[in-house]
Structures are given as C-alpha cells and as structure tokens.
Structure 1
Amino acid sequence: RDGAAAQAVTALESLPADVRARASIAAMLGLAYCLRYADDDRDPVWLARAEQHAEAALGADDQLAHAWVARAWTLEYRGDAEAAEAAYGTALSLDPNDPFALHGLGRLLRSRNRFEEAEQVVARGLAAHPNDRRFWDDLGTLRYRRADYIAAADAFRHSIALKPDSIYAYANLSAVLLRLGRDDEALSVIQQGLRIRPHSRLYNNLGTTLYARGRYEEAAAAFRAALSDGRGSPNDYLKWANLADALRWLPEREQEARAAYARALALLEPSLHTEQPDATRHGRAALYAARLGRRDEALRFLGQAQSVAGDDADFRFRAVLTSEALGDRESSLEHLEAAIELGYPQHLVESDPDLVLLRRDLRYHLIVSRSGS
C-alpha cells in the first residue's frame, strides 16, 4: 500500500545492527530506500543509502537474488540502464519469478521504449503474480505509452479492484481518462484518490486536467499543492514544469514561469548525463530549454531524444511544442503528423494554448483531415 516504503524503512532501521548486516535485510533496506526515493521524495540521500545497502548485501552474499535487484534498482535510478539491465538479468537467473526484479526490468525496458520486450516481462509478472497490483499498473502504463487508452483504463481499474487504497492506480486512471476526453470522470477519480490520502501525483493530475480546460489559476494552485513540502514532492522536475506551464497564461506571471522552468531544468539536468539518451527526459529538457530561450540546448536535447524515441506518441507531441517554441513550423508539422498517426489524442492538440498559431496553418488542417479519413 502507499506509504509502505516509509513504514518498511522505519521497521528495518529499528533492527539490531547485526541483523541489519545480514544480506537479506541489507537488500530489503536497499529496496526500501529506493522506494522512498521514487515515492515523490526524489531526495538523493535516499538513493545514496540504497546504494550503500545494495553493495553491502552483495558483499555479504552475491548469490542472493534480492541483492542483485537492489543493485539494479539503484543503477536504474542513477541512469545506468545497461548495468541495471545486467543486474536484473543476474537476479532473474537466480530467481526467475522475483517480483521486484520483474517489476523493475519491465519499468526499465518501458523507459527505454523497448515496448515489445517490456510486454513480455509484464506478462511473466502477471503469470507468476496475478494478484500483485504492480503488474496491472505496469500493464496499464505500457498500454498508455502505446496510446491504447481503453486497455490502459481496464488495467488500472483492475489494479484498483485488487488494492482499493492504492492511490497510484487512481492517478494513472485519471490520466488515461483525460486522454480519452472524459475530463469529468478524470476529476471524479482524482477526488476518489484524494479521499484516501493527499498525494502529489493526484494534485499533479488535477492540475493537468484543469489546465486542459483552460482553468490556469486553479491549475497553478493544484501544481503548487503537488510541490508543497507536506503533501507534495518539491524535488520533482515535472511538477515544476507543469507549474510553469500554468503560470505562463496568467497575467504578470512570466518571470515566475521562467523561474519554475529553470528549476525544472536544474532538477532534470543531472539525469541527462547518461551514455544513452532517454526519450522522455531529454525530450522534456528540450522543451524547457526552448521555453527559456536556450535554442542550442533545446536542439541538442531534442536530437538526443529523437535518436531513441521510436514510436512514442508523447515524445512526438512534446517535439511539436518544442519546435513551435523555437519557431520551426516545418518540424512542428512533421512531429504533429507522426504524433497523430501514433495515437496522440486530437482533442488535446486542439485545446493546447501553445498551438493557437499552428492551428491557423492550412497544413495543420490537412494533417488532421488525413488522420480522420
């Protein structure tokens, strides 16, 4: 359940030192610290602790699958995808059904846009652990990334049925419903999640839904809640960027918007220095740099993202926004056609305030008409 990572850390840290030194406990602590890091804190202290305990677990017993999983998770969060994949492989050779290894490997492959391989791993996870909501969330997220929104919604609803008190599936389902143009349902699902407990992902999705409706003041308030110390995640670059998006459309808030974009890019920057680019992170960095007028940076990040993006509709739409911000209409139209062909929802293109001028271009209407024919 949500909040379990913090409880697990507290319980494990309270064990005697000699018990914590055991390989199995050290590995569990490594995983728990990774979960704390990922669960909206994004505090590098948690990741450093995870690395320390993962290495201690391997030093104590390198035949323990969980020790390799702990190492894989830390490597993945550090952005070393190749080393993480190798560590997942070792873990699964020791325990082919380890749920942490299968969940982590599927997540890693999905983040690298290796969707077919991710499908196979998620299928393995569901076969071995059909009642583990994480694999239904993984399946839903994979369907979402591939623009199969009906199937994604079904998977997230199954996750909620298995764990009605898990807010992650509510957040995920609301995002899918927005893509399907079912905004009222999305808002209702967000409120269901908030009745369970406040969470930054829910506030972020609330802001995103309000933004799509043109309610920018309310969207900014929701994004601020997503960033707040008590109930949000102030170290999450995406939420700073979303706040910046909303502030741009409010009177006399341009400087605040620029500061928020700069904060987003600063938080994102350490994860950009990887051997292989990441389509999502580098694509977002390109957009934020473009918003800040850093043309050379934006073009460099965009090229890096495109080199690995493959059939990623979200990347293509983000590239439309980036190209428009850079004044490159030809590239905007090229990315738009690809995004629509890959299943990006047309109603979100039509409602985006940054694309007003693009929508006045005759070529935009030709692209839209071809997609509907």
Structure 2
Amino acid sequence: MSVSKDNVAQPDQFLHYQLGKSLGEGGFGHVYQAWDAKLHRQVAIKYLKNFATGLDLLKEARLAASLQHAAFVKVHALEQAGESQAIVMELVPGRTLRQVLETQTPSISHVIDIVLQIAQAMQEAHAAGLVHGDLKPSNLMQEPSGVVRILDFGLATQADRDATTSLVQADPQGTIAYMAPEILTGAPLQASADIYALGVILYELLTGARPFASLSGLALAAAVIQSNSDQWPWPDNLPLVLRQLVRAMTTRQIEHRIGTMQEVANQCAQIAAIDAVSLNSGTFNLSALKLSVPLVPENKKFNWSGFVKNSRRTGLTVLLVSAMIGAWYSQPYWPQMREGLQTYSESREMQLGLDALNNFDRVAMLDRAEQHFQRIIDRSPNHAAAIASLSLVHSQRYLTDRQNTVWLQKAESEAKQAVDSNDFLALSHVAMAKVYELQDQFQDAFADIERALALDPNSVLAISAQIEVLIRAGRLDEALTKVKLVQKNHPSERIFADQMAKIYLAQNDFKAAEIAYRLSLQIKPDASASYIGLAQTLLALNRAEDSIQELQTGIKIRPGAELFSALGNTLFTRGDYVGAANAFESAVSEDKGNPKDFQAWARLAESLSWLPGKADIAKSAYAKARNLLQGRLQITPHDANLISLMGLYTAKLGENAESLNFVQQALALAPNSAEIQFRAAVSYEMIDMRAQALAAIVKSKEFGYPNKLIEAEPELLALRRDPKYLR
C-alpha cells in the first residue's frame, strides 16, 4: 500500500519492497525492515516526513552514499511513489550503544575502541563536508562482531560557512543532551558540534550516565548552555587522561575544543597504547602522551549558585531556545531498536547467525553463529536454511580445529539434511559443496555449486565457494581470473580479496598477495584472518618487523586468540621468548583468547621453557594442554597427529612409560610424517632414549622438517651437541 507523509499506519508494500516489522520512528520518518524483491536482500526503509522546505533530499542521500568508510550505513536508493518518499538503506544487525549501556558497563579499552571507530569514520565525513548533527547512543549501532555503525547519516547536511540556519533549527531532531551549546543558541551546524556530541557519548560510556541526567527540556538546555564540562561529576576511579580527553572534546568554547575528529582518533590511539596499570593511575604523566590539544583544568563541583545567577542573565537565550524545544517535543522520539531477547524472532536469529558466520576467522563468532542457528532448529527441526548454515559453521570448525574429523562428519550430515528438506534452497547446495570440497570430491562440489548458482545467481556464498573449490583443486589460474572479475562486481565483499591473496600466495607472488590482503583490510579493518595472512606474506618477503607490526595492529583493533597465537609463533621463531610467552598467555586467556586451545597452551609452555625460573609454570601449561588433548583423543582415538602430541606432552611432564606408548602408536600410524618423527625425537630424548631420538631426528630431516624448528626446541640442546648428531 502507498502511504502519505501524514499516514502512520503500518504499510505492507512500497514499490518492490515488502515491508516487515517497524524498527522505529523519529522526527524525519518511520523505519521498517523490508525485503527487496528485486535484489533479494533485507533492507531498512525510512519513510520521510516533516522535512524542511527546500531541503534537497536527493543531494543529501547522494552525499551520504558517497562515503566509503565501512562504519556508515550504506544508502541503496532514494525512492518515491506518489507523495511518499523513502530512503532505502542497509539493514544493520546488533545493538545500539543505548542498549549496550542499559545492560552492561563497557571496559575502558572497549570504550576507547568504540570512540576510536566513530572518530575515524566521522573524520572521513567531515573531510567530505558532511556533518551528522545528531550523534547519540541510539544512533550508533554495535554489530555482534564489535564493529560500530553510524545510523541516520541521511539527516546530515553539507557544511556551508555562509549558512545562516542549521538543520537542527529546520528540524530539531537532535537530543538536547548531546547538542553543543552553540547549536542550542542558534549557531550554524559545524563539525565541532559532532566532536562535542562524541565527547558526551564518551562521558556516558565511561560513567554510565549523561551529564545532567536528572534534567530535561528547557532546564537541560539551559544547563548545557551555561555550564562547562570541567564541572561535570566524575567517579574517582576513572583515569585522569580520560577526563582530560572528554573536557577537550566538550569545552563550551569552540576555539578551545579539539579541532578535528582525526585529533580525537589520535588521542584514542595513544590512550589505547597505555598499559592498564598506568592508564588507571590518577597521577599518570600526561606529558608523555604529547597531547596536541589544550587540557582543561579540573574543577571539583558544579557551581549551582553561579549557575542560577547566570541563568537570570540568559532569559533571552532560553526564550530563543524554547521554540525549538517545543518543536522537538512534538516529534515522536526514536524508540531504541531492541535485540528482542525476550521475544523469539526466526528472521532475526537467522540474520544474526549469518552475520556472525561472516566473521568465521574468530572462534568466538563461530560459537555465536552456532547458537543462533541452533535456536531456530530447536523450534523448527526441518528449517533448511538454519541447518545448512550450521553445516557451514561445522565445516569452518573442521578447518580451524586442527581438522577434527568429527566436525566434518557433522557438516556432512547437516548438509544432506538441508538438501533433503529443501532442494530449491541455494544455501543447502552451498553447504553440500563445502563438504565435498573438504573431502576433495571436486566434481560433486562443482555440481552442487552450479545448482546453487542456478537458484541464486548473485549468491556471494555460492560464488566464493566456487572459487574456493577451484583453489583447492589446484586450478589457480582459473580461480584468479574468476575472483578478479567477481571482486570488481562485489568491491565491498572482503572474502574475494582474501581469496585473491590466497591464490597469489600459492603462486609465490608475495607482492601481489600483500596488496590483496591490504585491500581486504580496507574493506574490513578487524579481519583476523587477513592480518594473519598479511603477516605470513610479509615474513615470506623477509619483512619480519612489518609482520609483527601488522599482527599487533590487528590485536589493537580486535584482539583474539588467532592473532595472539600468530604473534606468539612469529616472536618464538625470532627467539623473543618473553614476547612469545606474553602473546600465548593472551591467546589462552578467558577474556582475550580461547582457553580451550590445547596447542596454544603447549606453545605457551614451550616459550616458558626457554625462560629461567619458569619451569614449574611451563609444566603447568603442558598439563593443561595434555588434559585438553585427552578430551579430543576420546573423540578421534586413531588420529596419529594427536597421539604424537600426547606423547610429547606426557614426556614434558615426566610420564615416561605413557609417553613411549603414545610415541610408538603415532609412529606406527604415520611413519613417514616429518612432524611426527620430530615429536618422537623430542619425546625419546626426554625419556633418556638418545639412540632412538637420533634416529627419529634424522628421519624428520629426510622428510623435510625445517632445521630452524629443530634448533628452536630447548629439549634438543644436548642432542645437538652429540657427536653422532653432528656427523
């Protein structure tokens, strides 16, 4: 149905868009979730209303659509049918910062990361002459991956030094608490107002409450106009450096305020680099940061008596503001988009699961994806899309979990069930193709991909699966030609840049691989797999320092077990055992890593073994690795790789008889494996079987085990001095 600007009834159709649930309502329009029947995708549609006369919405939509930074919600189209106008936008999953604040108190590092992301994105907007004008927690969305997205940029206005009125005056939709004092007194909207708003958001994220939380309406506006942020109350435990940053962003005098969002981003990056002990010190040396903004002196309390006296002199200002406030109250307030945890939504669970699966390079996101798909299956056991998606999760677990065949068996069973449930669903055939690919059944994989593409020619999952099968089948030139073409048609899809890099790596074209990985990180700056791939590429180019720096950059943006482990491995091979131990300790930590990763525990133990006085701690780490590995062996008791690791760990723990049993089992299962022969050599050496150790180390070399890794094993120091080894 067609809806006029003044009709607020729930519509069901707008042009070729099938409208679903209402997502919210604000001063500029009503927002609905919708299905684009032409392009087969979920979108958000905002019906426009009450916009200022003469406002060029097409121009504004074009300006917003021109922004390339991933934080901005993409504008797909500006549509019109009769008297109705609508902006078609990307549908963003996740929670608003308002919802985050209602349920948790973010850590300081989390807060700094959020503000850094927003500042970096807004710097690009300001450079393009765009000012948001309505930054506030309910207009900032955090995706399940942690990426922050900026909503409602369709209301932005192009900065114009000659403008005499601001968009806020034309449509006072901005929340007063986040409005800069100069905007409340009628000044034109400028980039400095966005900096002020972000400073207020930073204050609220740190303290849990906005300034003057008990005030509203005219009283709130008057307090914002008359006060300065150095009078805002602060909890005693918050670091001084953060207070100074907030004050520099929100000082009433524009000339004393931080000048650009780039400066805000730089300050956040510097703060993020401070160690936790120093950061939380109330006496931290601010001069060490070399801050480029003036620091506002710290005052104790808000002077209410002075405020009352000053208020008598500002009656005219309040009167000028009152008209705007009245208009603001007349507009419906944007309701916060709730996660809907209390009410089950199948479509929501599916979307959140797919979004999490898109971040397949992080174990925590695979866990989250599995939970969303399983919720659907618990209620609808034959839901083909959820079953197929769960199969893709388990295929990815097979790749990331040391090729544990249990995951591949689950993936195969689920893919077959999905195809049986709905043979006309492209996703079912993508899942089946992935299983065939991992089983090296390439002909069957291509057949299912062709079926998927026939059902959905624009499926990114199907296209990327096709390229992946070509790579795995060794058809690299064909894969490269395909991925180059597809990447041009899908420039915002990181998966194709990663696949291009993977092909170049296989072809030993490391320079081209570096360019492709950097393109991937431009598309998605927090992609762990891309940082790891880039680091490996730089190592191949003999740029070890650059490799370490890229991993550290990835960790700063989005810490995770995978990145910490990659950093630990790199530092270990360079002989930096202290740095490696620190990295592996983070890799197995509860808050930063994956405490269930037995191999990371073992690598931590190896690093500690090289450090004086750490023998007992190293032994405890080996015990943790051994205990975790025992659970894996119960599932796959004939895995030669796991058995050889168990032999090594038990030898490290001094359990000689048990170690010998595991070593002999592993050698019987895989006698020609270089890695298993090497582990056998280390185990034999530790249980005082030097002759067998020498024989195993010779075989490991014959099968291609690297000398540098042999020399990096502390338990082989004595063996390497043995005349028989030297001969």
User: Taking structure 1 as reference, are residues 242 and 17 closer, same or farther at Cα in structure 2, changes over 3 Å only?
Assistant: closer
User: Taking structure 1 as reference, are residues 152 and 319 closer, same or farther at Cα in structure 2, changes over 3 Å only?
Assistant: farther
Q: In the alignment, what sits opposite 2:686?
A: 325
What's the secondary structure of 1:331's corresponding residue? Answer: helix
Q: In the alignment, what sits opposite 1:290?
A: 651
For residues 37-56 of structure 1, what are the structure 2 equivalents within 5 Å?
Answer: 54=415
For residues 210-289 of structure 1, what are the structure 2 equivalents within 5 Å?
Answer: 210-273=571-634, 277-289=638-650
User: Taking structure 1 as reference, are residues 124 and 286 closer, same or farther at Cα in structure 2, changes over 3 Å only?
Assistant: farther
- Deviation of 1:190 after TM superposition, in Å, equals 1.9
User: Taking structure 1 as reference, are residues 337 and 11 closer, same or farther at Cα in structure 2, changes over 3 Å only?
Assistant: same
Q: In the alignment, what sits opposite 2:508?
A: 151
* Bigger relative contact order (CA 8 A; separation at least 6): 1
- Deviation of 1:208 after TM superposition, in Å, equals 2.6
Q: In the alignment, what sits opposite 1:371?
A: none
Alpha-carbon contact 1:66-1:91 (below 8 Å) kept = no
What is the rounded CA distance, in whole Å, between the counterparts of 1:234 and 1:91 in structure 2? 35
Alpha-carbon contact 1:29-1:50 (below 8 Å) kept = yes
What is the rounded CA distance, in whole Å, between the counterparts of 2:625 and 2:448 in structure 1? 39
Alpha-carbon contact 2:449-2:465 (below 8 Å) kept = no
Q: Is 2:702 the counterpart of 1:345?
A: no
What is the rounded CA distance, in whole Å, between the counterparts of 2:597 and 2:400 in structure 1? 10
What's the secondary structure of 1:151's corresponding residue? Answer: coil
Give per-residue Cα distances to partners, 1:312-354, cap 9 Å, x unaligned: 5444433332232232323333333343344443333334322
Give per-residue Cα distances to partners, 1:112-163, cap 9 Å, x unaligned: xxxxxx554778766755663565676689x6xxxxxx93956853651451
Q: In the alignment, what sits opposite 1:94?
A: 448
What is the rounded CA distance, in whole Å, between the counterparts of 2:610 and 2:695 in structure 1? 26
User: Taking structure 1 as reference, are residues 199 and 135 closer, same or farther at Cα in structure 2, changes over 3 Å only?
Assistant: same
More helix by share: 1
Alpha-carbon contact 1:167-1:196 (below 8 Å) kept = no
Q: In the alignment, what sits opposite 1:23?
A: 384
User: Taking structure 1 as reference, are residues 54 and 16 closer, same or farther at Cα in structure 2, changes over 3 Å only?
Assistant: closer
Alpha-carbon contact 2:589-2:595 (below 8 Å) kept = yes
What is the rounded CA distance, in whole Å, between the counterparts of 1:92 and 1:75 in structure 2? 9
What letter corresponds to residue 345 of structure 1 in structure 2? Answer: P
What is the rounded CA distance, in whole Å, between the counterparts of 1:210 and 1:339 in structure 2? 24
User: Taking structure 1 as reference, are residues 363 and 102 closer, same or farther at Cα in structure 2, changes over 3 Å only?
Assistant: farther
Unaligned runs of 5+ in 1: 77-83, 107-117, 144-149, 367-373
What letter corresponds to residue 448 of structure 2 in structure 1? Answer: L
For residues 153-168 of structure 1, what are the structure 2 equivalents within 5 Å?
Answer: 157=514, 160-164=517-521, 165=525, 166-168=527-529
Q: In the alignment, what sits opposite 1:197?
A: 558
What's the secondary structure of 1:95's corresponding residue? Answer: helix
- Which deviates the most, 337-346 or 173-182? 173-182
User: Taking structure 1 as reference, are residues 284 and 293 closer, same or farther at Cα in structure 2, changes over 3 Å only?
Assistant: same
Q: Is 2:721 the counterpart of 1:360?
A: yes
User: Taking structure 1 as reference, are residues 254 and 68 closer, same or farther at Cα in structure 2, changes over 3 Å only?
Assistant: farther
Q: In the alignment, what sits opposite 1:85?
A: 439
What's the secondary structure of 2:679's corresponding residue? Answer: helix
User: Taking structure 1 as reference, are residues 233 and 89 closer, same or farther at Cα in structure 2, changes over 3 Å only?
Assistant: farther
User: Taking structure 1 as reference, are residues 49 and 274 closer, same or farther at Cα in structure 2, changes over 3 Å only?
Assistant: closer
What's the secondary structure of 1:231's corresponding residue? Answer: coil
What is the rounded CA distance, in whole Å, between the counterparts of 2:516 and 2:641 in structure 1? 25
What letter corresponds to residue 94 of structure 1 in structure 2? Answer: D
What's the secondary structure of 2:508's corresponding residue? Answer: helix
User: Taking structure 1 as reference, are residues 336 and 74 closer, same or farther at Cα in structure 2, changes over 3 Å only?
Assistant: same
More strand by share: 2
What is the rounded CA distance, in whole Å, between the counterparts of 2:620 and 2:436 in structure 1? 31
What is the rounded CA distance, in whole Å, between the counterparts of 1:33 and 1:199 in structure 2? 20
Give per-residue Cα distances to partners, 1:140-198, cap 9 Å, x unaligned: 89x6xxxxxx9395685365145124322432454576689764343233224334422
- Which deviates the most, 286-295 or 271-280? 271-280
Q: Is 2:692 the counterpart of 1:335?
A: no
What is the rounded CA distance, in whole Å, between the counterparts of 1:240 and 1:311 in structure 2? 27
C-alpha RMSD over aligned residues? 4.8
- Deviation of 1:223 after TM superposition, in Å, equals 1.0
Alpha-carbon contact 1:175-1:205 (below 8 Å) kept = no
Q: In the alignment, what sits opposite 2:284?
A: none
State percent identity of aligned pairs. Answer: 30
Unaligned runs of 5+ in 2: 1-69, 71-144, 146-355, 360-364, 454-461, 488-495
